[in-house]
Structure 1
Amino acid sequence: MSSQQRCDFLIIGAGIIGLAMARELKSRLPAADILVIEKEADVAYHGSGRNSGVLHAGFYYSADSLKARFTRDGNRMMTEYVKDRGLAINPCHKVVVASDENEIEGVQELQRRGERNGVDVRIIDEQELAEIDPNAKTTGIALYSPTTATVDPSQVCHALKEDLEVAGVRFLFGQGYYRREGRNAVVTTGGMVLEAGLTINAAGLYADTVARDYGFSKNYTIIPFKGIYLKYTGTDKPIRTNIYPVPNLKNPFLGVHYTVTVDGTIKIGPTAIPAFWRQNYVGLENFSLGELFEIIGWESRLFLGDNFGFRSLALSELKKYDRSYFTGLAVKMVKQIDTRGFNQWSKPGIRAQLLNTTTKELVQDFVVEGDSRSVHLLNAVSPAFTCSFPFAAWVVDHYILKQ
């Protein structure tokens, strides 16, 4: 293999966003030479293979956001892809329940947002909720989302890789981004020099650091949050559908909820615990002293200033390492459940959450920066898996074909 290669498009990162970008580009420009580099040995090693697999419907987000449109369209497009490809899908639907009368307005607001976004949602009463899931509990009303489903995110990513390889897209695994060289070249961690007509940065947790090499991400940095679920290992199936609480719409986290996975496993979560380095999964795995100092510095400032309620968020999230506290948050959404059955922690995932360093606020919508040489997908924020196909199409329309 030559240590120097050329391509029309170089995509950094083989998560769902990098794969979706390659798919969209190849569909629009079949003759283009597309090369995807990935520091790991295969696709979906990080967030794309560690997320819940929920295909969200798109009713949480304000109608003027990119996220609202991408989630609505992405739910349909990903569902169609999974079914056409013969991949696993669980049409388990979703309900959002109110824990008390004070949350009824929150349920109604989610319905209004869903209707403005063109999403199939409706208010249901307690009787209809019992028909959907006899164990779900609400106060007065709940919101029903019939298009929410779950898939196997790793299976989807591997299917996309197979499709792309058949279409002629090239992959280089074990070759991460190391640095920019000259105007149009990238040096990989394996010492390869790759010259590209356009470089597309879909590096997830490291998207901001890559972007800075190109003069972008001047007002942004990634703050990592660790997400872990607790799996139910009992032989019974006490939950039929995804059950969610009314979220705090001021932050991007949806609260502890029940997810029914593609294979029928029930789990509660996730956490949103501030991590101390970007791949801070377990123990000192992937430890980086430089990242520790940088991230602890930002988290300390946010904690002391209590920006966007970070102090209470951090303290409450850390308490979720206590299993009894964690399960206690989920108990109020159901009529009965044996919390002792939640006794297996899932593989942790890290959310790459963008922070605006000027306003010290978490950025809740997609952020893209770029020019004629490079495009940087800085905030492919949750639910990026659901949004990936329409988001990739939007990036191609607005940042690639316009040039």
Structure 2
Amino acid sequence: MADAKVIPFDDDRSRTGASPRPVRRRPGTGRRKGAAEAVAVREVPVGAVPGQPDREQPGGSAVGAAGAAGAGTAGTGATRETGPVRNAADGGRGAAGEPPVADSDGYGTRGGPGAWDRRLAGGLAFLRRRLTGDYEVDEFGYDKELTDQVLMSLVRPLYEKYFRVDVKGIENIPSDGGALVVANHSGTLPLDGLMMQIAVHDKHPAGRHLRLLAADLVFVLPVINELARKAGHTLACSEDAERLLQQGEVVGVMPEGFKGIGKPFSDRYKLQRFGRGGFVSTALRAGVPIVPCSIVGAEEIYPMIGNAKTLARLLGFPYFPITPTFPWLGPLGAVPLPTKWTIQFGEPIPTDGYPPEAAEDPMLMFNLTDQVREQIQHTLYKLLVQRRSVFF
């Protein structure tokens, strides 16, 4: 036993003079060139502060203890070469408030240089797909990738910072399968539809996409037509709506139409007529639930105090609004007021329990239409009572 060699636990044979044992590696797992230089980032024990005696750091007690045990022994002058270590307790920051340390593959933590590299690479890949035509568009013209990465990103600052939309009852929209969301319409310009679309996508646990049914005027305007198609909007007709619902999509409709967004400010939050109940017939044929939706805050963005009907007829518009700022301030008058919005999705009304011929029953359609309208109106009054201020 006198001539036995003692090998330390960490198998550092360079310290004892023993010949190193060959290392076996599986094919494809060899070290990259220059990996040794990348590993030796800090020659200090883990958990120690440079220039100060070794001590445990907050959130890294276990790692610090292992560093103290694996560091060089007293009198040998050896130090432990540590690779990049991230402290999970402080969000990836090192000791004493050091900046995030990059991973060994070159990508950093959130907000580090690696995150920007990934964003740049993703943006370049997106541009390459757009230029080469390597993207998908459905039969209605909906471009999911463009909508998620560009169109919604352009409108999201209005949703989050300007109107500060508060969403309630988002869990009433099913996680899968078709559903028909029926909402009130207001605001002179149809910004409420865009805010509702972002609310469903950003707040729903399943990240669902809302396919809005738009009026025919939207699809005759030169630029708006293409953007609306790309964003998933389609013509407000029962055939397109039924096809989307049968495909398992969430479809949004605002039955008030131009009567809702073009009503005077004195009639704010008073629902207009819901048409002839065509949306109820569509939901009955598809067998999907109807989800009432109430939007508060859109009525005040453009207080409509007048309507230039003659000018509207000349331009081919359903109305030409006159507000306290438009047209008196020119383009500046088109800036909406920064009101505080609330969007609440109510309890769904099931339709799958009715027989197939129920879609042709006028009395049933009338009753369901009136039920949806009353539920939206009641929720609007309740939200108005709870609201403390239009802007805050």
- The question of a shared fold, defined as TM-score above 0.5 by the shorter chain, is answered with no
From the two aligned structures, give the one with the greater strand fraction.
1
- Give the shorter-chain TM-score range: under 0.3
From the two aligned structures, give the one with the greater helix fraction.
2
Bigger RCO (CA 8 Å, 6+ sep): 1
Calculate the TM-score normalised by the size of structure 1. Answer: 0.20
Calculate the TM-score normalised by the size of structure 2. Answer: 0.21
